[in-house]
């Protein structure tokens, strides 16, 4: 059933292309209908899959001579991520309700991207996964380059090239794995059981892992992320931060760790305390957490703050993966979900609700607008989103990051200590942005007040309210009752770690 | 050999030559006073009919081969037939693109030259003898020089043709010189005998002359496929030649040349088994055959050409402002990818099939690309990148075709270009997973990431950047239909990659 999320998205994209020009409302409602249908299927698939292990959805031979199958399957990990994609898609469309330029093309690229993302999450065949992974690159480029803002062509090209270089690294690794395994199947499960030689795994793992981690925003390959997020139109930022970065992290987990578990084994020697690829990537993840947070603290552009915060939060995902223990990896998967929701909400507030009315993202200019009074909805929505982003208890981020930190402590206490600094700085930059943008105490002069009285901000629209409430509500609900996701994630992580690592 | 056999085996070539004569007679004899559009349509359709007839003959009787005594002259079936069928189909497509063109009044001559060139292509695709190879290559090349010069009102066309001719003449001389060394060393012109004897000579005492001969041959054939450092003609020719001629050069001539390289590579691999000399019996293994004789240094030459082509082609394409030159450098880099497959050819036909899959789909895509360039060029008067500005508004369908074709050239799934690359690289790693083939494949994959940049430069102009001129561009319905069919084929074959590979497989004997 979950396979229909893919078909509906691509069919929707095709329909959008065929729509006559000028039917913008039709395009919007059609896109929303496709996304809602996708979400409904994702929810139904999630509910139906509770307490079940891996279920094959569809398995058709695609290129029989090479053993490539059109193989889609669902387990606890990807059910959660498909759910996230459904939510992000619906909210992304709600927050792009005001797109007037080439509307149908916008939604065509948007739905094609969503279809690719669903495809990556559901594929259980290595090459199918790779195919969907690359399908997702092109729509991203056009979404940013056509509908973006600040330095959009530069940012779009940078994003496309980073993604393509990452996928080229993955392709090299996959070809090598396919040739080395000598098996006549490219199924993930079949390849995981192919007993690839340890020396092969040792060099192939970092190649594939880095290739995917580029898209997950791993430091020092993160630089596409802030520029890309800032340049992208709101809905695309929400998708980029919300689900596209998760594609990378998911690839790291499913392909990197799942196929090459011995790539994480100790080298047998250690340099400055680093004795395996696991240490290398964990250190990079921790650096990403702290570096992203510190850079976010220094930004003058509101959207860049959120952009760098994504780098920091994705560091937690990668750190969680490198703990290689049950609690850490579970935390990483939950963090993928949680960050997808929270980053989407933050980008929606900054890029849409605030920017569409103030036409600036400079914190220094926003400071003089006393937005708390003029846009109370945005202010309080950002308070909630900020609290969630900081990792306050009661929100999904808290549960996820706590698990990652506990897992990291088990693996290496120093990682936890260093990541802790990132959390503290995280509070600081969120607080700073909140204070400067909404609650600054610079009082407006009489002249400004009068001008503001004449030109009040446009009222908050229903799509904005719906989207905000949906995202904030999900984050709160998962924070208060994390078992709803954890019960699904945990068995799948256990199976993955047992089948692959250790 | 008797002449009846010769006639039967070369029926497709004969059909093309007959069609060429019919076109000339009809066009010059009956249609002199009719409108140019009628003449173009009639000539192109007659040419297409000739191609279809020849294609039918290849598909029906393509399995037959021709020998003189014990020496094979023309091979049938397998790679040769696939390449011949591809040459005919692609020639027909380039002829259909002609219907929209106005660069010449001499349409009859144009179509006739195209058909004769294609006949040369058919010959080299199946040639197994050095002399036949050379004659076929000359027949193909001479036609290409004329086609390049066909736009008599354009100085660029004449310049490009002269450059192409001079380079071509020189490389033909190199090739012939190399062949003469081979003949001198082995006393035979049959590819099979030459490779066998060269092998034993090099095993018995080393043969420095063999190395010289192979370098010469690599120069000659490297020129045909546009491999670096023998690529200098390509950008000028692609830029100067009329669009349908450029499409023909970029597709048909490439298919033929790569088919020839497959024959040469396969011949070096065929020398394994038991050889008896007087009272000695020598068992030659596959491994040994690839280490000595022609196989010993041939792969190294190809690997060097391939590395240089991939790097220079992709990097030089980054700097181009003319889309035709960009396509030329992209063709050079694609030749580089294919050369990896040729350097590590497998004994079974896996590699040959992968190479044919690649060159066939590449030829198809590139014909489409030149078709789009031709339409844009007619409307805007130039093939600069900026002529493509706002194409999505000026002709959305054409822009969509461009998107599909260029993304396929970049190797983005689920388009056919991705499967071509994937099949090829998988075949290379299947032959040998040693460090050198792996490094070459890694370089190729990395370079295709570079290539995305310049393909996106064109697409960016078509879709993203604002335009001043929004006047719609119209294309002739036939051209548009051809382009749409090509784009649809690229998508469909990409989604169902087995369609084409099954078709290719059907030419090979079942093991």
Work out the average pLDDT over A386-410.
88
For residue B240, the distance in angstroms to the closest alpha carbon of chain A comes to 31
Q: Number of C-alpha atoms within 13 angstroms, CB side, residue A391? A: 24
pLDDT of residue B9: 86
- Give me the residues of B, 409-448, that contact A with CB < 8 A: 412-414, 418-419, 422-423, 425-426, 429-430, 433, 438, 441-442, 445-446, 448
pLDDT level of residue B275 (50, 70, 90 thresholds): low
Report if residue B409 sits inside a domain. yes
Residues of A in contact with B456 (CB under 8 A): 141, 157, 160
Q: What residue in B sits closest to A158 (Cα-Cα)?
A: B453
Q: Percent of chain B scored above 70 by pLDDT? A: 94
Contacts of B465 in chain A (CB under 8 A): 153
**Across residues B401-414, what is the average pLDDT?**
91
The distance of A124 to chain B (nearest Cα, Å) reads 17
pLDDT band at B146 (very low <50, low <70, confident <90, very high): very high
User: Which residues lie closer than 8 Å to B297 by C-beta, 6 or more apart?
Assistant: B210, B211, B214
Kindly state the tokens that stand for B136: 């076929």
Q: How far is B426 from chain A (nearest CA, A)?
A: 6
The shortest C-alpha distance from B466 to chain A (Å) reads 9
Helix (H) or strand (E) holding B91: helix B78-98
Ramachandran sector of residue B346 (left: φ over 0; alpha: ψ -120 to 50; beta: rest) = beta
| Percent of chain B at pLDDT exceeding 90 | 49
Using an 8 Å CB-CB cutoff, list chain A residues near B430. Answer: 179
Q: Is residue B511 assigned to a domain?
A: no
Chain B interface mutation, best of A133, A168, A197, highest count of B Cβ atoms under 10 Å: A168
The confidence band for B287, taking pLDDT boundaries of 50, 70 and 90, is: low
- pLDDT, residue B148, reads 92
Q: Is the pLDDT of residue B199 over 90?
A: no
pLDDT above 80 for B296: no
Measure A259 CA to nearest chain B CA, in Å.
19
C-alpha span between A364 and A277 (Å, rounded): 43
The CA distances from residue B72 to A245, B131, B180, B268, B346, in Å, are 59, 12, 19, 15, 21
How far is residue A205's CA from residue A58's CA, in Å, rounded to a whole number?
Answer: 28
Q: Which of B47-56, B224-233, B237-246, B286-295 has the lowest mean pLDDT?
A: B286-295
**pLDDT tens by residue, B121-140:** 999 998 999 999 999 999 99
Crossing angle between the packed helical segments B155-186 and B130-148, to the nearest 10 degrees: 170
Residue B375 has pLDDT above 60, yes or no: yes
User: Which residues, at least 6 apart from A283, have a Cβ–Cβ distance to it below 8 Å?
Assistant: A274, A415
Q: How far apart are CA B467 and CA B447, in angstroms?
A: 31
pLDDT in tens, B150-166: 888 888 899 999 999 99
On chain B, the residues whose CB falls within 8 A of the CB of A142 are 463-464
Residues of A in contact with B501 (CB under 8 A): 63, 65
Q: Is A142 on the interface with B (CB under 8 A)?
A: yes
Nearest CA in chain B to A183: B430
Nearest to A306 by CA among A354, A246, A254, A348: A348
- Residue A377 pLDDT grade (very low, low, confident, very high; cuts 50, 70, 90): confident
Contacts with A178 from chain B: Cβ below 8 Å: 426, 429
Query: Is A146 an interface residue toward B (CB < 8 Å)?
Result: yes
pTM value is 0.91
Q: What are phi and psi of A301, to 5 degrees?
A: -100, 125
Question: Any idea how long chain A is?
Answer: 502
What residue in A sits closest to B427 (Cα-Cα)?
A179
**Cβ neighbours, 10 Å, residue B314:** 25
Please compute the mean of the pLDDT values over residues B429-451 and round it to a whole number: 87
Structure token digits, residue B80: 């040769």
The whole-angstrom distance between residue B292's C-alpha and the CA centroid of its chain comes to: 28
Spell out which residues of chain A touch residue B414, defining contact as CB-CB under 8 Å.
131, 135
Q: Of B209 and A406, which is predicted with more confidence?
A: A406
**Minimal CA separation from B394 to chain A, in Å:** 14
Which pLDDT score is estimated for B288? 61
Beta-carbon separation of B501 and A65 below 8 A: yes
pLDDT higher than 80, residue A258: yes
CB distance from A161 to chain B under 8 Å?
Answer: yes
Whether residue A480 is preceded by a cis peptide bond, meaning omega within 30 degrees of 0, is no
Pairwise CA distance, residues B441 & A264, whole Å: 25
pLDDT for the residue B172: 93
> What does pLDDT average to over chain B?
88
Query: Is any Cβ of chain A less than 8 angstroms from the Cβ of B452?
Result: yes
Q: Chain B contact for A137, CB < 8 A?
A: yes
pLDDT band at A502 (very low <50, low <70, confident <90, very high): very low
Residues 241-300 of B with CB under 8 A from A: none
Distance between alpha carbon B398 and the CA centroid of its chain, in Å?
25
Chain B contact for A175 (CB, 8 A cutoff): yes
Cα four-point dihedral sign A75, A77, A81, A86:
positive
More confident residue, B293 or B113: B113
Average pLDDT over residues A397-419: 89
Give the residue-averaged pLDDT of B345-356.
86
Q: What is the mean pLDDT of residues A9-13?
A: 90
pLDDT for position B284: 64
CA Rg value for chain A: 22
pLDDT at B311: 94
Q: Which residues of A touch B460 (CB under 8 A)?
A: 145, 153, 157
- The predicted-structure confidence for B306-322, as pLDDT tens digits, reads as follows 999 999 999 999 999 99
DSSP state of B417: H
Q: What average pLDDT does range B469-475 have in this prediction? A: 83
Task: Tell me: pLDDT of B483 over 90.
Answer: yes
Enumerate the β-bridge partners of residue B74. Answer: B66, B127
**pLDDT of amino acid B286:** 59
- Structure tokens of B47? 């040419």
pLDDT for res B1: 64
Provide, as residue numbers in chain A, all residues whose Cβ is less than 8 Å from the Cβ of B449: 161, 164-165, 167-168
Chain A positions in Cβ-Cβ contact with residue B318 (cut-off 8 Å): none
pLDDT band at B245 (very low <50, low <70, confident <90, very high): very high
- Looking at the partner chain, which of B423, B449, B498 has a beta carbon nearest the beta carbon of A168? B449
* Among the listed residues B363, B396, B372, the one whose alpha carbon sits nearest the alpha carbon of residue B489: B363
A276 three-state secondary structure = strand
User: Residue A288: what pLDDT?
Assistant: 92
Do the Cβ atoms of A474 and A87 come closer than 8 Å?
yes
d(CA B373, CA B391): 11
Cβ A165–B446 below 8 Å, yes or no?
A: yes
For helices A413-437 and A396-411, the axis angle rounded to 10 degrees is: 150
Residue B197 belongs to a domain: yes
Rounded distance between C-alpha atoms, residue A6 and residue A45, angstroms: 13
Distance from CA of B349 to the nearest CA of A (A): 13
- pLDDT at res. A118: 93
Closest by Cβ to A176, choosing from B438, B460, B498: B438
State the nearest Cα–Cα gap between B449 and chain A, in angstroms.
6
Calculate the average pLDDT of chain A: 86
Q: Which residues are CB-neighbours of B421 under 8 A, at least 6 positions away?
A: B337, B358, B411, B444, B445, B448
**Owner of token pair 């407006």:** A444
Q: What pLDDT is stored for residue B443 in this prediction?
A: 92
Tokens, residue B103? 């660069």
Asked if the Cβ–Cβ distance from A172 to B441 is below 8 Å, we say yes
How much is the CA Rg of chain B, to the nearest whole Å?
22
Spatial distance between the Cα atoms of B326 and A230, rounded to a whole number of angstroms? 32
Q: Which residues in chain B touch residue A180, judged by CB atoms under 8 angstroms apart?
A: 433
Give the single-character DSSP code of A56.
Answer: E
Q: Residue B275: how many CA atoms within 13 Å on its side-chain side?
A: 14
What pLDDT score does B63 carry? 75
Name the domain count of chain B. Answer: 1
Report yes or no on B510 lying in a domain. Answer: no
ipTM of the complex: 0.88
Long-range contacts of A266-272 (CB under 8 A, 24+ apart): A267/A202
Res B280 pLDDT > 80? no
Residue predicted with more confidence, A36 or B103: A36
pLDDT band at B396 (very low <50, low <70, confident <90, very high): confident
Quick one: average pLDDT of B173-195? 89
What's the sign of the alpha-carbon dihedral B180, B185, B188, B189? negative
Highest mean pLDDT among A459-473, B190-204, B284-298: A459-473
Compute the count of residue pairs across chains A and B with CB atoms less than 8 Å apart: 75
pLDDT at B293 over 70: no
The tokens of A131 are what? 């195919």
A135 to chain B: which residues are within 8 Å by CB?
412-414
Q: How far is A279 from chain B (nearest CA, A)?
A: 26
* Domain range for B348: 3-505
* Among A327, A54, A45, A328, CA closest to A189: A54
Q: Is B67 helix (H, G, I), strand (E, B) or coil?
A: strand
Token pair for residue A98? 């005001």
Please count the residues of chain B. Answer: 511
Each residue of B58-77: pLDDT tens digit? 888 877 788 877 778 888 87
Distance CA A467, CA B113 (A): 65
Helix H or strand E segment including B277 = strand B273-277
Cβ-Cβ contacts under 8 Å, B463 against chain A: 142, 145-146
| Residue predicted with more confidence, B291 or A220 | A220
Q: In the structure encoding, which two tokens stand for residue A120, read together?
A: 């990556």
In sequence order, which residues have a C-beta less than 8 Å from that of residue B145 and are 6 or more positions away?
Answer: B161, B164, B165, B168
């Amino acid at each position: 059933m979950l396979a229909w999320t893919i078909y509906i998205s691509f069919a929707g994209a095709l329909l959008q292309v065929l729509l006559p020009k000028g039917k913008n409302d039709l395009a919007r409602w059609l896109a929303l209908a496709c996304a809602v249908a996708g979400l409904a299927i994702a929810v139904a698939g999630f509910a139906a899959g509770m307490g079940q292990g891996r279920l094959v959805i569809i398995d058709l031979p695609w290129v029989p001579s090479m053993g490539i199958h059109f193989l889609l399957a669902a387990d606890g990990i990807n059910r959660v991520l498909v759910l996230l994609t459904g939510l992000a898609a619906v909210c992304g469309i709600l927050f792009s309700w005001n797109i007037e330029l080439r509307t149908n093309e916008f939604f065509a690229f948007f739905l094609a991207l969503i279809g690719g993302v669903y495809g990556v999450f559901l594929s259980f065949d290595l090459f199918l996964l790779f195919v969907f992974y690359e399908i997702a690159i092109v729509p991203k480029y056009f979404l940013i380059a056509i509908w973006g803002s600040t330095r959009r062509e530069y940012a779009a090209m940078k994003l496309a090239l980073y993604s393509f270089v990452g996928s080229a690294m993955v392709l090299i690794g996959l070809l090598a794995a396919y040739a080395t395994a000598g098996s006549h199947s490219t199924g993930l499960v079949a390849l995981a059981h192919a007993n690839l030689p340890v020396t092969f795994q040792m060099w192939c793992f970092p190649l594939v892992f880095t290739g995917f981690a580029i898209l997950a925003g791993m430091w020092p390959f993160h630089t596409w992320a802030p520029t890309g997020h800032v340049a992208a139109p709101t809905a695309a930022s929400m998708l980029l931060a919300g689900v596209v970065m998760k594609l990378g992290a998911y690839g790291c987990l499913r392909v990197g760790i799942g196929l090459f578990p011995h790539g994480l084994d100790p080298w047998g020697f250690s340099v400055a305390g680093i004795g395996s690829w696991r240490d290398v990537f964990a250190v990079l993840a921790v650096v990403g957490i702290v570096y992203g947070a510190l850079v976010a603290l220094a930004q003058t552009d509101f959207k860049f703050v959120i952009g760098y915060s994504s780098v920091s939060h994705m560091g937690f995902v990668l750190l969680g993966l490198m703990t290689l223990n049950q609690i850490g990896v579970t935390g990483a998967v939950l963090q993928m979900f949680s960050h997808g929701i929270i980053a989407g909400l933050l980008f929606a507030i900054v890029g849409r609700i605030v920017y569409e009315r103030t036409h600036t993202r400079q914190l220094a200019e926003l400071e003089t607008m006393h937005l708390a009074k003029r846009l109370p909805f945005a202010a309080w929505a950002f308070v909630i989103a900020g609290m969630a982003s900081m990792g306050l208890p009661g929100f999904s981020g808290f549960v996820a990051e706590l698990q990652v930190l506990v897992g990291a402590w088990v693996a290496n206490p120093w990682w936890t200590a260093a990541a802790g600094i990132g959390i503290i700085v995280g509070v600081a930059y969120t607080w700073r942005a909140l204070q400067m943008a909404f609650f600054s105490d610079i009082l407006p002069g009489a002249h400004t007040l009068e001008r503001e009285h004449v030109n009040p901000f446009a009222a908050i629209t229903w799509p904005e309210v719906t989207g905000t409430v949906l995202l904030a509500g999900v984050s709160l609900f998962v924070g208060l009752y994390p078992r709803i996701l954890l019960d699904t994630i945990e068995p799948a992580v256990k199976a993955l770690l047992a089948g692959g690592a250790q | 050999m008797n002449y009846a056999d010769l006639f039967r085996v070369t029926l497709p070539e004969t059909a093309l030559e007959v069609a060429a004569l019919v076109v000339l007679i009809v066009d010059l004899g009956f249609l002199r006073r009719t409108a140019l559009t009628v003449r173009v349509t009639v000539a192109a359709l007659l040419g297409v009919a000739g191609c279809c007839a020849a294609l039918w003959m290849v598909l029906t009787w393509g399995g037959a081969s021709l020998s003189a005594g014990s020496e094979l002259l023309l091979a049938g079936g397998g790679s040769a037939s696939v390449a011949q069928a591809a040459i005919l189909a692609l020639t027909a497509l380039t002829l259909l693109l002609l219907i929209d063109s106005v660069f010449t009044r001499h349409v009859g001559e144009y179509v006739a030259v195209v058909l004769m060139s294609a006949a040369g292509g058919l010959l080299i695709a199946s040639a197994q003898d050095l002399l036949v190879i050379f004659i076929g290559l000359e027949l193909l090349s001479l036609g290409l020089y004329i086609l390049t010069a066909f736009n008599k009102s354009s100085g660029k066309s004449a310049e490009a043709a002269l450059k192409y001719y001079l380079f071509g003449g020189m490389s033909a001389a190199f090739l012939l010189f190399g062949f003469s060394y081979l003949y001198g060393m082995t006393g035979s012109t049959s590819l099979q005998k030459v490779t066998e004897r060269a092998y034993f000579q090099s095993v018995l005492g080393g043969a420095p002359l063999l190395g010289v001969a192979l370098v010469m041959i690599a120069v000659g054939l490297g020129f045909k496929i546009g491999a670096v450092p023998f690529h200098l003609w390509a950008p000028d020719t692609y830029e100067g030649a009329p669009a349908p001629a450029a499409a023909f050069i970029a597709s048909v001539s490439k298919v033929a040349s790569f088919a020839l390289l497959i024959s040469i590579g396969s011949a070096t691999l065929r020398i394994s088994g038991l050889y008896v000399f007087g009272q000695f019996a020598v068992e030659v293994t596959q491994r040994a055959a690839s280490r000595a004789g022609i196989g010993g240094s041939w792969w190294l030459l190809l690997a060097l050409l391939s590395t240089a082509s991939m790097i220079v082609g992709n990097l030089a394409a980054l700097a181009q402002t003319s889309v035709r030159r960009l396509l030329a450098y992209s063709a050079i880099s694609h030749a580089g990818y294919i050369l990896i497959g040729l350097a590590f050819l497998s004994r079974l036909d896996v590699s040959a099939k992968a190479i044919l899959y690649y060159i066939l789909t590449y030829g198809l895509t590139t014909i489409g690309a030149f078709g789009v360039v031709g339409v844009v060029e007619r409307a805007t008067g130039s093939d600069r990148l900026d002529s493509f500005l706002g194409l999505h508004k000026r002709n959305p369908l054409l822009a969509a075709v461009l998107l599909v074709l260029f993304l396929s050239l970049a190797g983005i799934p689920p388009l056919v270009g991705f499967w071509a690359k994937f099949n090829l690289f998988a075949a290379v790693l299947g032959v040998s997973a040693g460090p050198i083939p792996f490094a070459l494949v890694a370089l190729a994959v990395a370079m295709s990431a570079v290539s995305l940049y310049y393909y996106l430069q064109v697409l960016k102009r078509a879709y993203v950047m604002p335009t001043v001129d929004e006047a719609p561009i119209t294309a002739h319905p036939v051209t548009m239909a051809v382009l749409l069919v090509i784009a649809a084929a690229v998508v469909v074959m990409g989604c169902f990659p087995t369609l084409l590979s099954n078709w290719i497989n059907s030419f090979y004997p079942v093991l």
